[in-house]
Structure 1
């Protein structure tokens, strides 16, 4: 089937459904009104999604703003502000038809001019990840008030995957054009097109959203208000859920041992859905610039020394799956036809000897995100010690962790990253030479460089044929698993706790970040 036709079919098949596949008649079964009390952790630094893209901001503001598309759990594109889209046979011209009758929260109409301003002006300046994805774009034009054309310089295989609300939020041109984006007073009172409007922010206490009564989807939202409560301590967040103060706890907001306990309470459920687009992937940064991490055999020894199964069971309470390599199994072109690294201490010791490891003590930087990560670091330290690698833990706070990785001041360090459904969007950045740059804890922090890998990632991004992309990315995975630039740990499954009186809280591949419009209270 031609790629152009496939994309058109995707739009057509979803056109009769509300918000990523939730039919209107199912939403109508919910009770009109009611309030959802949720936890946000930590308190976001801001809510202007075009400027701030951290997790808490995306969770709240993804329900204030919208993108042209949404994505289901298989990362298939679905309509949102765009109702349909086509692409030419060369894969270089994408044309989006916008939904008529959409208004900003202040009543002004949403048009193609807003799309051009958002993508080509505002976000190119403020959104580093999108700016990189738009490098392939030659021009963005408003053909008429409800038609937008993206012309590419060359085919960019994952292009249709960059239109979700966190990657390309639509920004109101009439509010931001000609202003200093970073200091515009409107940043404090965000205005989008989404199902909820900003109401109030009491710093250190809560953020309140209220229903957009003029939302462009009929009978949505059904919930009248959402409060995001700021509760700094993990034990207090667990207690707030147990007491009934909050109804909804997003993934990572309470410790994993508390998730299991709380999920057994009457009227409580837990789900790991809603993270498919992000595909959280954890690993151990290995500073390739320094001995002994500069030796491939040493890095392979680390891979063999780690007991991923035990770490998943003990530290993650089963909410993690051992990673098999650089690609999360939820993203496109993941393959199992690659080298395996089951735990084998004897093999690890042999490789260490061949690598010439002299027993020097290495600094291990844990991730300062709570007890689960602390336990993971201790298990890893024990695993490496059993193989003969000496490690000392270097504790930091979040700011310190960021600074050390930004400056490459580490030997081994924990991290996790999002992979955004496609290797060109969320994997290449961690292994290509062009992404070796101080100042970010999420680029090629390990300092790995292989011209062949650079070439393959570049070819994979520019190839539009899925079968050819699959072959390219299989080569990439094989090389990376042989050279082990980092030690891959787990595919993370962040569990969301919620009261069973809540329905349809997850309706997309990014979960709570754009699904609260579908939520209903029984």
Structure 2
């Protein structure tokens, strides 16, 4: 009699889920064609990235939609729908020359008019991050069918970074002008300029993209189709990779404790490149409005009590390094000239003593709550590690479980004392970091804004100065100073600069080619020659 184990059940489940969904086999290596099966988790709520920039949406829709630029691993802009670009010496005028043979998936030519509509009208209405960027424009105008000029009101240092796919996806003007963008029926049938287009979406099972035969990139794409099976169970995702039923995972698709084992398999490579644009820092956000977190001494005590190296090793399994502050080493304008918090329980206890928080008969000084992030086992273990470590200095932590909807609602409405988070930095602090600290972004009901309630006019002024600097030197000076202030006032505890793992079948090459990694177009991806 065969003994049933969890792994045997998962293997049978994965096989059953994937049977009849995935292509039977890839084509011969070394030739154009073939397919690639890529995990989709969770299932995207939509593929229309103009309205939703959910992480799972980006991974699939990044093959359907394009922007003017993409970025190499050092954040140097590379051609997308723009072939070349130039900036005036005063940093106020940007001119883009567009590809001349691009068409939308319905056959309509892509022109400068689409760029003007997208950046001046569409994104300004529906995309908060893009609104910050294009709100700096005095005018956006088409000089001819293939030339666009942006004139800014004042210099905005990260302007070019705004032309990444999820920030400024080009939208077909002929399908959206004069309509209600949120209810337009084309939202259900995405039309982009990318190398792949939607062929089939079986809800709850898979999404299949097929090659765009009219793609503007000569000889591209190389693959015939991309299939994204929907696999909600973490164990089934791991088994599908292990058995070669899928060829790629990304971000946190695979629980981190499974990554080392899978990385040892001969048919898989572990790749950490391709996440530079996101560069998340795993952190604990404090509600600075409520006691005891309204006292900087308490926030510092918590920082001293957390062993960052242990978090990197035990929670993220070496897929990351200890963080020193709000800006990742992988993001522009990082500085190590900051206040640091080495693991020091004596220093932590001294600060709590200074506050008058003395231990009771059970050794407890105070009790706080921790709203657990609901994105899988990693974050459950993260919360338990926080609980264990703070317990050593007499801070009792009560973990509050949540689901994605309730976490987002409570976080947005400031209904927490502590919670964990790992938001993206988008290549420049003006785009991904400042939003969590500037006073003008304290907006109740808006997630991923300044939900901690931290406010410092000097920090506001420095973020403003750094965003509008023309040269990298003046921007770096302002960002160095702001990092020094934030690490001294610690509205958060920055713990680990996370390296997302990509597990990729060794038969494929030219897959991870830019700083947005698995969210790229995959125009270059192909089966390797034998």
When normalised by structure 1's length, the TM-score is 0.93
Paired with 1:208 and 1:475, the residues of 2 have a C-alpha distance of 48
Distance 1:494 1:440 in 2: 26
Q: Does 1:390 align with 2:396?
A: yes
Structure 2: 5+ residue runs without aligned partners?
1-28, 359-364
1:297-308 aligned at under 5 Å gives the runs 297-308=297-308
Does the alignment pair 1:60 with 2:60? yes
Query: Structure 1 residue 506 and structure 2 residue 506: aligned?
Result: no
Q: Partner of 1:177 in structure 2?
A: 177
Q: Secondary structure at the match of 1:253?
A: coil
Which residue does 1:198 correspond to in 2? Answer: 198
Aligned with 2:450: secondary structure?
coil
Contact 1:505/1:515 (CA < 8 Å) preserved in 2?
Answer: no
Q: Return the offset for 1:30.
A: 4.1
Find the aligned partners of 2:327 and 2:352 in 1 and give their Cα distance: 26
Q: Confirm or deny: 8 A CA contact 2:72 2:514 kept in the other structure.
A: yes
Q: Give the C-alpha shift of residue 506 in structure 1.
A: 0.5
In 1, the alpha carbon distance for the partners of 2:276 and 2:521 equals: 14
1:152 corresponds to 2:158:
no
Distance in 2, matches of 1:333 and 1:301, equals 27
For residues 10-409 of structure 1, the aligned pairs below 5 Å read: 30-357=30-357, 359-409=365-415
Deviation at residue 504 of structure 1 after TM alignment: 1.1
1:441 Cα offset (Å):
2.6
Matches of 1:310 and 1:393 in 2, distance apart?
A: 20
1:517 deviates by 1.6
Over the residues paired in the alignment, what is the CA RMSD in angstroms? Answer: 1.1
Show CA shifts across 1:7-63 (max 9, x none).
xxxxxxxxxxxxxxxxxxxxxx94211010110110010000101101011111111
- Distance of 1:362 and 1:387 partners within structure 2: 13
- 1:515 deviates by 4.2
1:450 aligns with 2:456: yes
What do residues 247-298 of structure 1 show as CA deviations (whole Å, max 9, x unaligned)?
A: 1111200111111111111211110111001111221011100111001111
CA deviations over 1:445-492 (Å, ceiling 9, x no partner): 110000000011011111111111111111100000110011111111
Structure 1 residues without counterparts, runs of 5 or longer = 1-28
The SS at the match of 2:324 is: coil
Q: 2 CA distance for matches of 1:179 and 1:375?
A: 46
Distance in 1, Cα, partners of 2:344 & 2:483: 21
Larger deviation, residues 214-223 vs 349-358: 349-358
Contact 1:85 1:96 in 2 (8 A): yes
Provide the rounded CA distance (Å) in 1 between the counterparts of 2:107 and 2:162: 27
Write the distance in 2 (CA, Å) between the matches of 1:474 and 1:258. Answer: 38
Specify the SS of the correspondent of 1:209.
Answer: strand
Distance 1:116 1:396 in 2: 42
CA distance in structure 2 between the partners assigned to 1:126 and 1:201 by the alignment: 25
The alpha carbon displacement at 1:354 in A equals: 1.8
TM-score (norm 2): 0.92
- Paired residues of 1:112 and 1:146 also in contact (CA < 8 A): yes
Contact 2:282 2:495 in 1 (8 A): yes
Structure 1 CA distance, aligned partners of 2:432 and 2:244? 37
What is the aligned counterpart of 1:441 among 426, 444, 447? Answer: 447
Q: Match of 1:186, SS?
A: helix
Pick from 468, 478, 484 the counterpart of residue 484 of structure 2. 478
